[in-house]
A and B are shown apart, each in its own frame.
Chain A
Amino acid sequence: MKGELHFRDRAKAEELARLIRELAPEGPIKLVHVCGTHEITIAEHGLRSLLPPQLEVLEGPGCPVCVTPARHIDEAIELAKRGHILATFGDMARVPGSRMSLEEARSEGADVRIVYSVTDAVALARRTDREVVFFAVGFETTAPMVAAAVLDGLPANFSLLVSHKLIPPAMEALLQNEHGIRGFIAPGHVSTIIGERPYQVFPTRYRLSVVISGFEPLDVLYAIALLLRQLREGRPQVVNAYPRAVRPEGNRRAQEILSEVFEVVDHHWRGIGLIPRSGLALREEFREWDARVKFGLDLKREKGDDQPQEALHPGCRCHLVITAQVTPDECPLFQRACTPRTPYGPCMVGEEGMCNIWYRYGGRPKL
């Protein structure tokens, strides 16, 4: 494991931590990443204890399960209750919709199956005569696999409930209100697909730097140091600090099949609300695989749908965690009433949710 040692070298980590302390401005400063894997790196390696107290690094909308709107979960439950097999990822099944979760629907008799990929779901459909609906959630990383499955040809008893989302528009949505964000750490996985260009809007329009980062502790510390240096020098730009995986242009082939199968549409994000051009929908020629069309789904809109706090328990601050306005321990429910076993909100359910990660990896240690 030579590579691992290289990216976890203690002396280098200490050197970067010293650099970060030198570069950090005196007042409070907030940086945002948008990826559960980055949050796990930060929490698991205790990186926050190496940062100066005025510097905060928050997750933002980096957990696909957490930002899936309650309305889409309700649609999945509706399809399952009509007798179809609803295939989804494990933690998606446990997120509450506006009345219940898919797991609760299963205990009432709905056929909900846990799968690890769209390929599993397609294989499931080939083994049965019943309709299999795959609940397609995730960002630019998972959507190409679904697009490839569509292009490969799907069985007639298979359809997609699409809830795919795009990360850069969500980053931009965070900047529409009072936010205090001084820079972004961009997700390495998503960036391998989309490349550097979609982040260019941040230095140009908002004078904010973006550093594309990998997932080892030294990657993240380095990204933080770069953001602080650009801030000090007043030269906002997009920097690819993960060139061992991310090409400037991204993965062209994945981008092509994505745009062949999907079109970009306005989309609701749980905890944020409607974000223009932030989601994917199947193009006209693939509508026969769209479960909403195939089964004439038209759930009644309810008052409060589309609001950031839609379908959250009273007191749950998940919408503020998702918009990088509070840390999990600033929520009075965190670790007391709200735990992974008794979650109040999606951020404690999703394994990439900041509350879930802080719970598993020791929260913010005031050490």
Chain B
Amino acid sequence: MSMPGQKHDERITLLHGAGGELQGELLARLLRSFQGSRRSAGGLGLDELDDSGSIPLPDGKHLVFTTDSHVVQPLTFPGGDIGQLAVAGTVNDLAVMGAQPIALSCGLVIPEGFPIGELERLLRSMDRALEEAGVALITGDTKVLAHGELDGLIINTAGVGLAERLITDSGLRAGDKLIVTGTVGDHGLALLAHREGLEFETELESDVAPINHLIMRALEAGGEGITAMKDPTRGGLAACLNELARKSGMGLLIWEERIPMKPEARGLAELLGINPLEIASEGKAVIGVAPERAEAVLEALRAHPQGREAALIGEATREFPGKVILVTEVGGKRFLEPPLGDPVPRIC
């Protein structure tokens, strides 16, 4: 009999792109292909696998740079569409580095036969999201693929921003509090409900939105006290917290009952038998903050319309370095493991 893990013929599977453990392993392996070139330009580089890379500038600031391809199906879903998502995804990846996003690019890959009116509608939606974020669109590229070579629209955006101080995934210190800026899992669950034909039974909508202004409020209120930030996209809160724990070497103690979740999201996840903590949000961030600034940050977040449901969900400890410990609603404790992958494909 063949040994476990042995593969005659290794191929990419959907799980390789699902934001979980398997994707992490694939990335680590693929990065080894880049040997001769430089993997950093003096700041954060490929090896950090943070939300963005960075380049130190002569004035002490940091130019922050990131890219993201969006393939969501369907293109329009409850609460948003691919245009809005393409802006939010990249703007938020810049913002959680502590950067003020400045400009984006837009690369379109369009299948033959795609209605031009529909494309215009999606780009107008992009326009509104750019306006909301206060970010310019300054360059782009358009490709058309023959019928059958592509089953949907792909939008790639890259973006640059400027940060006074970089906020990385690895910055948590013992005693830091963890804040989530609002309800988790809305995006993935809204898409799933829509695809399963359950949308008439739930009011759930995607939370997709650029949240750079919200994050700026937190940065102003927290100052040097903000030690880490990350957006819980693919793999959800479980993947996000595990990454923060692993990269900082801290143990994270999380109280399940304090995690904000819409009742309809919780109900839907239970109905579908999936763990809502492994489901993506597209308009939320997890923020690590020194204990003495936690209240001020929470207050600043709650004063902003996008942060009304912000909550303090846990803290960093020296116990169980690199692990996330969940205190369950009945008072038990267990490890919250990183998911193998987001259970819902093509959500972003």
| A residues lining the B interface (CB < 8 Å) | 1, 4, 8-10, 13-14, 17, 43-50, 96, 98-100, 104, 217-218, 221, 311, 313, 337-338, 340-344, 359-363, 365, 367
B263 in contact (CB, < 8 A)? yes
List the B side residues contacting A342 at CB < 8 Å: 4-5
Tell me if A43 and B334 are in contact (CB < 8 A). Answer: yes
Given contacts A13-B332, A45-B334, A100-B1, 13 further A-B contacts (CB under 8 A): A13-B331, A14-B331, A45-B328, A45-B332, A46-B326, A46-B327, A46-B333, A47-B332, A49-B333, A99-B1, A217-B328, A344-B4, A367-B325
Q: Which of B50-58, B138-146, B335-343 contacts A (4 or more CB under 8 A)?
A: B335-343
Within 8 A of A (CB), among B241-287: 257, 263, 266-267, 270
In the bound complex, residues from chain B placing their C-beta under 8 Å from that of A341 are 5, 22, 340
5 tightest A-B contacts by CB? A46-B332, A362-B335, A342-B5, A46-B334, A13-B330
Given A1-B263, A100-B2, A313-B4; A362-B336 close (CB under 8 Å): yes
Instruction: State A337–B5 Cα separation when bound (angstroms).
Output: 9
Cβ of B3 within 8 Å of any chain A Cβ, yes or no, is: yes
A170 nearest CB across to chain B (Å): 25
Name the CB-closest residue of B to A17: B331
Question: B263–A313 contact, CB under 8 A?
Answer: no
CA distance A361 to B340 in the complex (A): 12
- On chain B, the residues within 8 Å of A218 by CB distance are 330
B325 contacts across to A, CB distance below 8 A: 365, 367
Q: In the complex, A362 Cα to B242 Cα: how many Å?
A: 12
**A45 to B263 CA separation, bound complex (whole angstroms):** 19
Contact indicator B4/A337 (Cβ below 8 Å): yes
Determine whether B118 belongs to the interface, using a CB cutoff of 8 Å to chain A: no
A46 to B255 CA separation, bound complex (whole angstroms): 12
- Minimum CB–CB distance from A63 to chain B (whole Å) comes to 16
Collect the chain A residues with CB atoms within 8 Å of residue B335's CB: 361-363, 365
- Could you tell me how many residues of chain B have their Cβ less than 8 Å away from some Cβ of chain A? 25
Assembled-state Cα–Cα distance A50/B332 (Å): 6
A50 to B327: give the CA distance in the assembly, Å.
11
From residue A296, how far is it (CB to closest CB) to chain B in Å? Answer: 26
Is B10 among interface residues, defined by CB-CB distance under 8 A?
Answer: no
Chain A residues within 8 Å of B1, by CB = 96, 98-100, 311, 313
Chain B residues engaging chain A, CB cutoff 8 angstroms? 1-5, 22, 257, 263, 266-267, 270, 325-337, 340
Q: Which residues of A contact B337 (CB under 8 A)?
A: 359-362
Q: What is the CB-to-nearest-CB distance from B11 to chain A, in angstroms, rounded to a whole number? A: 10
Mind listing 28 A-B residue pairs with CB under 8 Å? A1-B267, A8-B330, A9-B330, A13-B331, A14-B331, A17-B331, A43-B334, A45-B328, A45-B330, A46-B327, A46-B330, A49-B332, A50-B330, A50-B331, A96-B1, A98-B1, A104-B2, A217-B328, A313-B3, A313-B4, A341-B5, A344-B4, A359-B337, A362-B334, A365-B325, A365-B334, A365-B335, A367-B333
Bound: A44/B266 CA distance, A: 15
With the chains together, A4 CA to B333 CA distance in Å?
19
Q: Which residue of B lies closest to A47 (CB)?
A: B332
Instruction: Tell me the smallest distance from the CB of A3 to a CB of chain B, in Å.
Output: 11
- A129–B2 Cα distance when bound, in Å, is 34
**Shortest Cβ distance from B329 into A: residue:** A8
- Given A1-B263, A8-B329, A44-B328, the answer on whether A49 and B2 have CB atoms closer than 8 Å is no
Q: Which residues of B contact A311 (CB under 8 A)?
A: 1
**Cα of A311 to Cα of B1 in the assembled complex, Å:** 9
In whole Å, how far is A281's beta carbon from the nearest beta carbon of chain B?
28
Within the assembled complex, what's the spacing in Å between the Cα atoms of A363 and B325?
12
Q: How far is the CA of A317 from the CA of B335 in the complex (A)?
A: 23
B residues less than 8 Å from A367 (CB atoms): 325, 333-334
Determine which of A1, A10, A48 lies in contact with B330 in the assembled complex, contact meaning CB atoms within 8 Å: A10
Bound Cα distance from A89 to B270, whole angstroms: 21
Cα–Cα, bound, A345→B333 (Å): 27
Contact check, B329 vs A1: say whether CB atoms are below 8 A apart.
no
Give A218's nearest chain B residue, CB to CB.
B330
Residue of B whose beta carbon sits closest to that of A49: B333
- Complex-state Cα separation, A47 to B328, whole angstroms: 9
- Chain B's closest residue to A9 (CB) is B330
Cβ of A46: which chain B residues have Cβ within 8 Å of it?
326-328, 330, 332-334
**Cα(A74)–Cα(B7), bound, Å:** 21
Residues in A neighbouring B263, C-beta threshold 8 A: 1
Kindly state the separation between the CA atoms of A44 and B336 in the bound complex, as whole angstroms.
9
Q: State the CA gap A127–B227 with chains docked (Å).
A: 59
Given contacts A1-B266, A1-B267, A362-B337, whether A47 and B4 have CB atoms under 8 Å apart is no
A267 to chain B, nearest CB (A): 23
What chain A residues lie within 8 Å of B331 (beta carbons)?
A: 10, 13-14, 17, 50
| Complex contacts, B257 vs chain A, CB 8 Å | 10
Question: Which residues from B are CB-within-8-Å of A100?
Answer: 1-2
The answer, among B2, B270, B333, for a CB contact under 8 Å with A365, is: B333
> Which A residues lie within 8 Å of B267 (CB)?
1
Chain B residues contacting A49 (CB-CB under 8 Å) are: 332-334
Complex Cα spacing A13 to B327, Å: 13
A340 and chain B: residue at smallest CB distance: B340
Chain A residues, CB < 8 A from B22: 341
Bound CA–CA A197/B332 (angstroms): 34
